[in-house]
Amino acid sequence: MSHHYLAISTLHSSPVNCDQAHQDPIYLPVALELLDTPEHFRVQRVGHYPPANSSLSSRSETFLLLQPWPRAQPLLRASYPPFATQQVVPPRVTEPHQRPVPWDVRAVSVEAAVTPAEPHARVLFHLKGQDWPPGPGSLPCARLYATHPAGTAHRACRFQPSLGACVVELEFPSPWFSQGSTTRAELAYTLEPAAEGPGGCGPGGEEDPGEQALPVGSVELHSANPPQYQEVPLDDAVTLRAPDVPVRPGQLFSATLLLRHNFTASLLTLRIKVKKGLHVTAARPAQPTLWTAKLDRFKGSKHHTTLITCHRAGRTELDSSSPLELSEFLWVDFMVENGTGGGVAVTRPVTWQLEYPGQAPEAEKDKMVWEILVSERDIRALVPLAKAEELVNIAPLTGVPRRVPVRLVTVDAGGALEEVTEHVGCESANTQVLQVSEACDAVFVAGKESRGAKGVRVDFWWRRLRASLRMTVWAPLLPLRIELTDTTLEQIRGWRVPGPAEGASEPEAGGAEEVEQRARSCRLQYQRAGVRFLVPFVAHPLDGGRRLTHLLGPDWLLDVTHLVAPQARVQDPRVAFLEGGHTVVGREPGVTSIEVRSPLSGSILGEQALAVTDDKVSVLELRAQPVTGISLALSRGTAHPGEVTATCWAQPAPPAPKQEVALSLWLSFSDHTLAPAELYDRSDLGLTVSAEEPTAVLPAKEQGAQLGVLVSGASAEGLPLQVSLYPPEPCRRGRHRVPLASGTAWLGLPPAPTPVPALPSDPALSSLATEASVGGRRLVGGSVGGNVGVRGKFEQAEEKIRKEETEVREEEEEEEEEEMVPAPQRVTDLELGMYALLGIFCLAILIFLVNGVVFVLRYQRKEPPDSSANPASPQPHNWVWLGTDQEELSRQLDRRPPGLPKGEGGCPCENGAGGETPTSVSNPPGDAPGSSSTLARKEAGGRRKRVEFVTFAPAPPAQQPEEPVGAPAVQSILVAGEEDIRWVCEDMGLKDPEDLRNYMERIRGSS
């Protein structure tokens, strides 16, 4: 993110103008980031971005912190260079009291009930989150409070760095058990700093913590000791009752055999087989007067066998009222040897077998194996410890499995903790939601899980101890929502950026010619759009229902842009492309889409249409906000314990002398869209900052600041700055270099609205006396003041600029087509096919024309013979007309050119009735070729058949200049030969050979 800085010498307070902020999606582009937080997300409400409290001078963002932070409180940093500030995130809010606590603690009650024999309540406290350094550090103490109607008791323990856990063993006073019935004690805890002394915790003076304590649960107090044994039948009549608690090395314990009242056998043999480390010491009848017991021991290499033979000593009457009831028959005492191998719990199997007279001695049907857990420790519970009880399953979006480490610990009497790593079993109750590793050291999601759930269970067991871990898994509800700040990107009028055509070499000319070539290699800038990828996370019901539970709520979405940006792409990269995963840049007109594909399956996770057009839009104005400092406020939400809202705003206080001031700018387009200048490349923007007072604005580099300006003075009512946006310097050309847009920013308190004073004749030169230009800066545009009071000092100057823009607009539009290098157009397969067909048609037409030209040239070379050279040669008769219409013949005779001598022309023969003899009319040879002669005969009486010959021949060389110019060249039909025209005269009645011969001689003589 790039910004523009100003250093101010003397300024007054500058209030924020937010009249339009609540209407437009605009905010202060300050960077907000969380530090020292393992996992967090930005969240937003559906259809509320930016939030309603955001404006040109402020910004609000909501974060969701999922992983706790045991080492140190996380920090939230806000930066808008050169200004930055940070704050410690408030402590988490715990339910149900909604009070903040500095640590995320999980409390597990080991015992559900206590008795006078075991009056201790044990609670394990575990810090969820990261690992801890080896030293004790600053880990706190947990104090457990037990509240009973008879009083209150409390005790504390300090968290140990190795596991981040500790156990409080609180002994209840004996009067609490003297109620005669079952009572209940409520458990709660508080966290307090560690102190010097035994255990590292203070004495704890408060007996009643009140509302400061966090609840743990309750424990029942029984006045009698409940039995701790289990009963297993050996056959239909004999049952074994064995203790169901671990035994210590060297401890003596007993097992009891029970008989039904209807048992009638007088002899019973019990065979017991044990491994080394366990011995049968004695067998005692429960009723010595009725039964006797004999004990025999047999030692083996791996096992010891004990044979107990029982005889009935006396006769007893059967109890017919309750024949199935059990009564104690025999007590068998066992002894455990000392030492179990380093204190690790082991099991000792004991095989029991009953034998009756007449039964096979090794009958397998009566064998029963009972395992005794032997341990040097008095283990009371197995507890799984997880770093987090909540997991957001982002594996379908990233393709990377998510793991939550799990440790199994045992809780001993006295509060000792021991981690268990071997001989551990585990199983997930629902593998479609959560899976567990083979080593039982982690639960994970791999990306193929299809559901989420609250309270999904994972079972763990070790030896005879079992425990369960409850987890909440949130799964993404696909498809992704892809939000674009603008779904139609258009060309920005007048904004040219360097962009020569692909493959074009750099201009080699120098001087003005090089500048001209570079300017003509620029192209129009397309609009850019910001893109964000959002998705809701849900938990499905475990019973298979359809009611979903949403993370934070049904109207909240998590921003996963930073996760799916590597998988996001534009479907047609020729139309647009993604820059940095969060900005869409248009390239050429077309329609495409932005899509995100799964890294696991390649399926589309989300898609959004995008159009790039060659329509022109204009930058209407810049909305400018000066920033002299930033303030930050944090607050906790109530929808989730990890919800944090950060609000940052620009300080309205006047800056100190020579202090840098940043300008926040937004671009307002004619298509009613707004965009921060951070979306555009810094090299594509040219910025000028003008002040009314002379020598008020200087380049910042003279004072050591980077890419900024220095303001050396300000008036009492504040200093207005005119900010103008230009194309980059290489793409500016022409006499009128008008800005793309401009805006006014007030440093200090703007004056009250007053009549505008008269400005000098040339306000552009006198009012805007000094100007500092920063080329290639990337700024956000917008104007804080649109009224007369704020922009009064610049109204006339801006009016002149508007006039210049109007005059130059048409000129620039005409130049655009010449200067811009057109973007390469796409050619589709359909267009290729149409172009191929068009080429074939054009080729066919060309071949046809060539054939026609060849045909014409070939027949133009053929000329008829010259009649003057050979009068007797036959002449071609191109047109022959046969008809009897005398009116048509008269019209043809009337069309003869004037000046023809009478007696010439006509038919070379006449009929016997006598009449007008047509004469042949000849045209001078010098006339133009293609002239015609008409031979006709006008009948005096009746309608007769007539023949008209029209001949065309090239004109012979000029021989009769006395003939009138333009007379048609008429050739007599007789010169062509007698045989060619004899058939014509026969039709005229000249059938006699003598008459025909005379007629032919007369005609030949006249010609």
- Tell me if 389 sits within 8 A of 106, measured CB to CB: yes
How many angstroms separate the first and last alpha carbons of the chain?
A: 110
- Tell me if 110 sits within 8 A of 411, measured CB to CB: yes
Of the candidates 557, 569, 558, 559, the residue with the CA atom closest to the CA atom of residue 599 = 569
- Alpha carbon 495 to its chain's center: 29
User: Using CA atoms, how far apart are residues 140 and 192, in angstroms rounded to an integer?
Assistant: 6
Name which of 124-138, 534-548, 645-659 the model is least confident about. 124-138
User: Using CA atoms, how far apart are residues 307 and 697, in angstroms rounded to an integer?
Assistant: 110
Looking at 238-339, list the stretches that DSSP marks H as alpha helix, in order from N- to C-terminal side.
Answer: none
- Tell me if 801 sits within 8 A of 738, measured CB to CB: yes
- Does the domain made of 247-314+325-374 have the CATH classification 1.10.10? no
pLDDT at 967 over 50: no
Residue 672 DSSP symbol: S
What local confidence, expressed as pLDDT, does residue 195 receive?
78
Is the model more confident about 541 or about 200? 541
User: Using CA atoms, how far apart are residues 186 and 937, in angstroms rounded to an integer?
Assistant: 145
H or E element in which residue 514 lies: helix 512-520
Name which of 36-40, 570-574, 728-732, 812-816 the model is least confident about. 812-816
For residue 968, the one-letter residue type is P
Map out the domains of the chain as residue ranges. 105-221, 247-314+325-374, 485-498+520-621
Of the candidates 371, 302, 362, 301, the residue with the CA atom closest to the CA atom of residue 334 = 371
For residue 82, the one-letter residue type is P
User: Using CA atoms, how far apart are residues 969 and 875, in angstroms rounded to an integer?
Assistant: 13
pLDDT at 596 over 60: yes
Of the candidates 118, 121, 91, the residue with the CA atom closest to the CA atom of residue 103 = 91
- Tell me if 87 sits within 8 A of 124, measured CB to CB: no
For residue 702, the one-letter residue type is E
Is the model more confident about 414 or about 331? 331
Cis peptide, bond prior to residue 82, ω within 30 of zero: yes
**Bridge pairing between strands 291-299 and 528-535:** unpaired
Residue 874 DSSP symbol: -
User: Using CA atoms, how far apart are residues 106 and 100, in angstroms rounded to an integer?
Assistant: 15
- Tell me if 402 sits within 8 A of 391, measured CB to CB: yes
Q: Do domains 247-314+325-374 and 485-498+520-621 have the same CATH topology?
A: yes
Name which of 383-387, 654-658, 719-723 the model is least confident about. 654-658
What local confidence, expressed as pLDDT, does residue 216 receive?
92
What local confidence, expressed as pLDDT, does residue 657 receive?
63
Q: Which two tokens stand for residue 189?
A: 């805890």
What is the CB-side half-sphere exposure of residue 718 using CA atoms within 13 A?
A: 24
Name which of 321-325, 895-899, 938-942 the model is least confident about. 938-942
What local confidence, expressed as pLDDT, does residue 656 receive?
59
- What percent of the chain shows pLDDT beyond 70? 64
User: Which pTM was predicted?
Assistant: 0.67
Is 209 exposed, middle or buried (CB count within 10 Å of its CB: 0-12, 13-18, 19+)?
middle
Q: Supply the Cα-derived Rg of the chain in whole angstroms.
A: 56
User: Using CA atoms, how far apart are residues 175 and 831, in angstroms rounded to an integer?
Assistant: 97
H or E element in which residue 534 lies: strand 528-535
Please report where in the chains the tokens 């200087």 appear, as a residue: 698
H or E element in which residue 891 lies: helix 886-894
Q: Which two tokens stand for residue 335?
A: 């002894």
Most confident of 372-381, 508-517, 639-648: 639-648
Sign of CA dihedral 795, 797, 798, 800: positive
User: Using CA atoms, how far apart are residues 511 and 279, in angstroms rounded to an integer?
Assistant: 109
User: Using CA atoms, how far apart are residues 878 and 932, in angstroms rounded to an integer?
Assistant: 11
Non-local CB neighbours of 810 within 8 Å, separated by 6+ positions:
none
Q: Is 943 helix (H, G, I), strand (E, B) or coil?
A: coil
For residue range 271-290, what is the model confidence (pLDDT) as tens digits?
999 887 888 999 999 988 88
Q: Give 964's pLDDT tier (boundaries 50, 70, 90).
A: very low
Provide the β-strand partners of residue 410.
382, 418
Q: What is the arithmetic mean of pLDDT over 770-788? A: 37
Of the candidates 10, 14, 12, 4, the residue with the CA atom closest to the CA atom of residue 649 = 14
What local confidence, expressed as pLDDT, does residue 522 receive?
85
Q: What is the arithmetic mean of pLDDT over 30-38? A: 86
**Bridge pairing between strands 214-221 and 113-114:** parallel
Provide the β-strand partners of residue 443.
404, 436
pLDDT at 435 over 50: yes
- Alpha carbon 25 to its chain's center: 20
Q: Give 655's pLDDT tier (boundaries 50, 70, 90).
A: low
pLDDT at 731 over 80: yes
What local confidence, expressed as pLDDT, does residue 806 receive?
57
Is the model more confident about 881 or about 554? 554
- Tell me if 125 sits within 8 A of 166, measured CB to CB: yes
Q: What is the mean pLDDT of the chain?
A: 75
Non-local CB neighbours of 966 within 8 Å, separated by 6+ positions:
897, 927
- DSSP for 208-236, please give it: --GGGSEEEEEEEE-SSPPP-EEEEESSS
Q: Which two tokens stand for residue 224?
A: 């009698």
Q: What is the arithmetic mean of pLDDT over 834-850? A: 94
- The answer for 436, left when phi > 0, alpha when psi is -120 to 50, beta otherwise, is beta
Q: Which two tokens stand for residue 694?
A: 């002379």
User: Using CA atoms, how far apart are residues 73 and 159, in angstroms rounded to an integer?
Assistant: 18
Q: Give 537's pLDDT tier (boundaries 50, 70, 90).
A: very high
What local confidence, expressed as pLDDT, does residue 277 receive?
80
User: Using CA atoms, how far apart are residues 631 and 398, in angstroms rounded to an integer?
Assistant: 35
Provide the β-strand partners of residue 948.
881
- Does the domain made of 485-498+520-621 have the CATH classification 2.60.40? yes
User: Using CA atoms, how far apart are residues 705 and 909, in angstroms rounded to an integer?
Assistant: 119
User: Using CA atoms, how far apart are residues 49 and 43, in angstroms rounded to an integer?
Assistant: 10
pLDDT at 444 over 80: yes
Secondary structure string (H, E, C) spanning 72-126: CCCEEEEEECCEEEEEECCCEEECCCCEEECCCEEEEECCCEECCCCCEEEEEEE
User: Using CA atoms, how far apart are residues 769 and 510, in angstroms rounded to an integer?
Assistant: 33
- Tell me if 876 sits within 8 A of 951, measured CB to CB: yes
User: CA geometry: angle at 381 spanning 376 and 384, to 5°?
Assistant: 120
pLDDT at 260 over 70: yes
How many CB atoms lie under 10 A from the CB of residue 166?
Answer: 23
User: Using CA atoms, how far apart are residues 32 and 28, in angstroms rounded to an integer?
Assistant: 11
Q: Is 611 helix (H, G, I), strand (E, B) or coil?
A: strand
In CATH, which of 2.60.40, 2.30.30, 1.10.472, 1.20.120 is domain 105-221?
2.60.40
Most confident of 260-264, 465-469, 980-984: 465-469
What local confidence, expressed as pLDDT, does residue 454 receive?
94
- Tell me if 788 sits within 8 A of 799, measured CB to CB: no
Most confident of 19-23, 72-76, 924-928: 72-76
Q: Is 38 helix (H, G, I), strand (E, B) or coil?
A: coil
Most confident of 244-258, 834-848, 850-864: 834-848
b/e per residue, 767-786, with b = 16+ CB within 10 A? bbebebbbbebbbbbbbbbe
Of the candidates 734, 738, 726, the residue with the CA atom closest to the CA atom of residue 799 = 738
Name which of 260-269, 634-643, 690-699 the model is least confident about. 690-699
User: Using CA atoms, how far apart are residues 86 and 102, in angstroms rounded to an integer?
Assistant: 18
Q: Is 860 helix (H, G, I), strand (E, B) or coil?
A: helix
- Tell me if 373 sits within 8 A of 90, measured CB to CB: no
User: Using CA atoms, how far apart are residues 728 and 619, in angstroms rounded to an integer?
Assistant: 15
